[in-house]
Amino acid sequence: MRAFTWFVRLILFLLLFGLALNNLEPTELHLLFGTQWRAPLFVLLLCAFALGALLGIAVMLPGWLRARRLQRTAAATTTTKPPDAVAGAAAAPPAPPGVIDGTPDGV
């Protein structure tokens, strides 16, 4: 399975590398206030992807931190039974068949 994963990664890399080599022509990006940025198209696409990934992380970060904090406080506040109570419950003999709540079925 690891070899298949690396094969897929290699194919994806080669496809993206080929896309970058086919888009080496300089491209103008017209920004606000009349500014322009001239760069190859693949550089512009890579920058747009990186900016989108950073923006997505920045938007999701408060939720991730809040969930992590809640998980830590929930783990700290959970109570466990003392070992003797657990052992006492396990040592109790099972009820005989036909007896429910300590009384026979016919009563």
Structural domain boundaries in the chain: 18-61
**pLDDT band at residue 25 using 50, 70 and 90 as cut-offs:** confident
Q: Which residues contact 36 (CB under 8 A, 6 or more apart)?
A: 28, 29, 30
Instruction: Give residue 6's pLDDT.
Output: 93
Q: What is the DSSP string of the chain?
A: -HHHHHHHHHHHHHHHHHHHHHT-SEEEEE-GGG-EEEEEHHHHHHHHHHHHHHHHHHHHHHHHHHHHHHHHHHHHH-----HHHHHHHHHSPPPPTTEETTEETT-
Q: Going by C-beta distance under 8 Å and a sequence separation of 6 or more, which residues neighbour residue 41?
A: 23, 24, 25, 27
pLDDT level of residue 1 (50, 70, 90 thresholds):
confident
pTM of the entire structure? 0.52
Looking at residue 85, its pLDDT comes to: 55
Q: Can you tell me the distance from the alpha carbon of 105 to that of 31, in angstroms, rounded to the nearest whole number?
A: 85
